[in-house]
Amino acid sequence: MKLITSGIKGTEDILPADSYKWQFVEDIMRGQAQSYGFKEIRTPVFEHTELFNRSVGDTTDVVQKEMYTFTTKGGESVTLRPEGTAGAARAMLEHGIYNDGYPVKVYYFTSCYRYEKPQKGRQREFHQFGIEVYGAPSFYADAEVICCANSVFDRLGVRGLSLELNSIGCKHCRPKYHDALKDYFRQHESELCDTCRDRLERNPMRILDCKSPVCSEIAANAPTVLDYICDDCKEHFEGVKSCLDAVGIEYKVNPRIVRGLDYYTRTVFEFVSENIGAQGTVCGGGRYDGLIEELGGQPTPSLGFGLGLERLLLLLDTQGIELEKPPVCDLYVIGIGDKAKLKAFEIVEGIRNSSLIAEGDIVGRSTKAQMKYADKIEAKFSVVIGDDELAANKATVKNMMNGSKKEVPLDEGFYDAFFAMYVNGANDSFMEKLGLV
């Protein structure tokens, strides 16, 4: 039978065989974010298009080429979020979260959408872990954000990442840099792509981020921003570096990093890997002190990062890093006959209510097939209940790990007897799960 349709190009299904990997890394990220004082925020998958035009920037590739924008039945222009920062900033302003006092520190897991050519580690629907900090002007905040990202990689055992830093200046010193870029790129204007020729007068820094090989080659010899930043930006950048030096995080200064979104100011950074192809940036972020004001709020220093989950999981796989497997069935209960099946159902629910994993047949398998299924799902223990067991009010629980067996009652004492057998025949991790160690 032919399927009616298949998944849309640029999207991927996360199947049960792999979903545990996502859950594992998300738990690590959530734990690290919380240890840094961040709280979770969840925002809608679509926003008014103006939000991204104003925040991301109308000269960026994201806005010009990649956004999924459509008109609603009510005539509104809305866009599927291409990144997570703008929505978080809008929510912070709209709901007055800043009234609780600064700094505001939030984290999120979000799906993002960009219409671009699917590639290794990046699809048209992709997922990010991000953190945002509002109201913290100090370079210590920049360093803390970088440390938070680094702590995730450390917890996961990721190797060979390179942290690259740059400062792209502020609204006071960046105009001088723009003038220098315009002077340089005007000499090559006829060679630039159509998009970059349009950017030349409006926002020449975007040419540095162009993916065209010709534009990239021209940009390689362009003036560097570090030669134009003001003394305040230099002092701030030196402060960030001194903090990273103090905690032993290695980095290198890369004056070509500008990031792909217009809201960035001062510090920008990327964690880059050589193990996942040309698009090796796993995590990127920095400071965006003008964003909140651009969205209608008061001037508010802001910063954060986005970490791509697909790229991270690809990197973990490439480096052979094995993630903790999901828990398996603790007890599989086989019932033979209608009364026994009802008793089996009762026991399964009782075990589940005790925070263990239990299963019983719900598809009509034979007794032999149920036993094979218990093996297949790697159940730790199993028990068979039939008419004889019901009459005697006893059943035999089998330890599937070592083959040992123990007779237990089928009344209320079953649970105490099973837990005792479970703990005696289980390793420390099982005991920990029960809260017994």
Return all residues near 350 (Cβ < 8 A) that are at least 6 apart.
Answer: 414, 415
Lowest mean pLDDT among 112-126, 141-155, 331-345: 112-126
Q: Which of 436, 309, 433, 329 has the alpha carbon at shortest distance from 24?
A: 309
What are the residue boundaries of the structural domains of the chain, listed by start?
16-173+229-318, 331-433
The pLDDT of residue 11 is above 80: yes
Q: What is the mean pLDDT of residues 24-38?
A: 97
Using pLDDT thresholds of 50, 70 and 90, give the confidence band for residue 410. very high
Fold classified for 331-433:
Rossmann fold (3.40.50)
Instruction: Report the pLDDT value the prediction gives residue 426, as an integer from 0 to 100.
Output: 55
Selected from 1.10.3720.10, 3.30.930.10, 3.30.200.20, 1.10.287.610, the CATH number assigned to the domain covering 16-173+229-318 reads 3.30.930.10
Q: What is the mean pLDDT of residues 402-425?
A: 87
Instruction: Report the pLDDT value the prediction gives residue 120, as an integer from 0 to 100.
Output: 76
The whole model's pTM is what?
0.88
Instruction: Report the pLDDT value the prediction gives residue 270, as an integer from 0 to 100.
Output: 95
Instruction: Report the pLDDT value the prediction gives residue 19, as an integer from 0 to 100.
Output: 95
Structure-token pair, residue 251: 């980095």
Mean pLDDT of the chain: 91
The pLDDT of residue 205 is above 80: yes
Instruction: Report the pLDDT value the prediction gives residue 98, as an integer from 0 to 100.
Output: 93
Phi then psi for 270, rounded to 5 degrees? Answer: -145, 140
Instruction: Report the pLDDT value the prediction gives residue 429, as an integer from 0 to 100.
Output: 45
Q: How far apart (Å, rounded) are the C-alpha atoms in residues 117 and 18? A: 24
The string of pLDDT tens digits covering residues 97-146 is: 999 999 999 999 999 999 988 877 789 999 999 999 999 999 999 999 99
The pLDDT of residue 300 is above 70: yes
The string of pLDDT tens digits covering residues 230-246 is: 999 999 999 999 999 99
Phi then psi for 425, rounded to 5 degrees? Answer: -105, 10
Evaluate the CA torsion angle 249, 253, 259, 262 in order and state its sign.
positive
Return all residues near 29 (Cβ < 8 A) that are at least 6 apart.
Answer: 107, 109, 129, 152, 307
β-strand 252-253 against 162-167: which pairing, if any? parallel
Q: How far apart (Å, rounded) are the C-alpha atoms in residues 431 and 26? A: 24
Q: What is the mean pLDDT of residues 223-230?
A: 91
Compute the C-alpha angle 176/177/180, nearest 5°.
90
State the virtual CA torsion across 54, 57, 58, 62 in degrees, nearest 10. Answer: -120
Strand spans (E) along 202-288: 252-253, 265-272, 281-287
Q: Which of 383, 426, 424, 420 has the alpha carbon at shortest distance from 401?
A: 426
Output the CA–CA distances (angstroms, integers) from residue 266 to 88, 231, 235, 425, in the order listed: 20, 12, 11, 58
The string of pLDDT tens digits covering residues 179-201 is: 998 899 899 988 999 888 888 88
The string of pLDDT tens digits covering residues 48-77 is: 999 998 888 776 778 878 899 999 999 999
Distance of CA 145 to the CA centre of its chain: 15
Q: How far apart (Å, rounded) are the C-alpha atoms in residues 95 and 104? A: 12
